[in-house]
Chain A
């Protein structure tokens, strides 16, 4: 039990430095200044899996680890959309998840952001045109930014989120 403490103290901080630029498509007309004012120092993120293959989820999960550490920017993952400011949506929106995604968005209090992560979330990705999906996330809920990639790296996702809230230097 105490050996863990010993290891923790010996290993030290392994967090990598913050990303510098982002490859993100910004949509939506919300003013960057307003976003920075409200969410600049604290953003609660709720992840929604709208039918993804889970590759994006693995990358997002890495964000909570010590190497990418999204908490140092004031971002944290929450369980309930009522607590959330930002919905991080992955996956092409399958027919079964369309209603659920919409309800999640409705359950989130204003002001809110939606960031679509991955090519599937942007427009269906490699599943584009399939009978089982509705389309990109933008077809169900209004999207503020899209982080392209299949899957995008954790740094790219982090940079995308930071860019949306105006924290990217």
Chain B
């Protein structure tokens, strides 16, 4: 949807996963309708939206999984 598979972003100190998602929502408004069906991950582990981010964190916003 965004055409991106990965990229790096600079955030202000104290940013959360929710803040980062908002940043992308502003760039890609179509993401807004998917927020409730996404789960966030930080450093290969599912994480709450309130989780604080640190430099070097690896973040993903994941849709429902359908492996197997």
A binds B: no
> Which of B's residues lie within 8 Å of A, judged by CB?
none
> Which of A's residues lie within 8 Å of B, judged by CB?
none
